[in-house]
Amino acid sequence: MIKVTFINADGDVQEINGVEGQSLLDIAQAAGQPLEGTCESQMACSTCHVIIDKDWFDKLPRSVEDEEDMLDLASGARRTSRLSCQIILTPDLDGLVVHIPAESRNMQGL
């Protein structure tokens, strides 16, 4: 099991267990986190945007240019932003901490 801690904009903490090969988006959605993932991991939306805890950001495989382009469009994006659909769980990521941007609450009403 690979444990990921999700922290939402209100500071609520949820620990979610995933297995190797699942995406961060998959486990977040399965646990009811408010990430839409509209384009089904095609890097054509930014509704799966999350902010990686700064201590973890450099441990992730680097993003490709298409991902960077989508993040430029994501509201509330920060230096440690990533698209959660592009982050595949590996044992190295056990203990990962991820923040859900406040904006994802607003997107749910669209």
DSSP 88: B
29 lies in the binding site for ligand FES (CB under 6 A)? no
43 lies in the binding site for ligand FES (CB under 6 A)? yes
85 lies in the binding site for ligand FES (CB under 6 A)? yes
Q: Which is nearer to ligand FES, 4 or 45 (CB)?
A: 45
Q: Which residues pair with 58 in a beta bridge?
A: none
Sign of CA dihedral 13, 33, 62, 66: negative
Tell the residue number behind the tokens 């939306």, with chain if given. 45
* Chain residues that interact with ligand FES, rule: CB under 6 A: 37-39, 41, 43-45, 47-48, 70, 83, 85
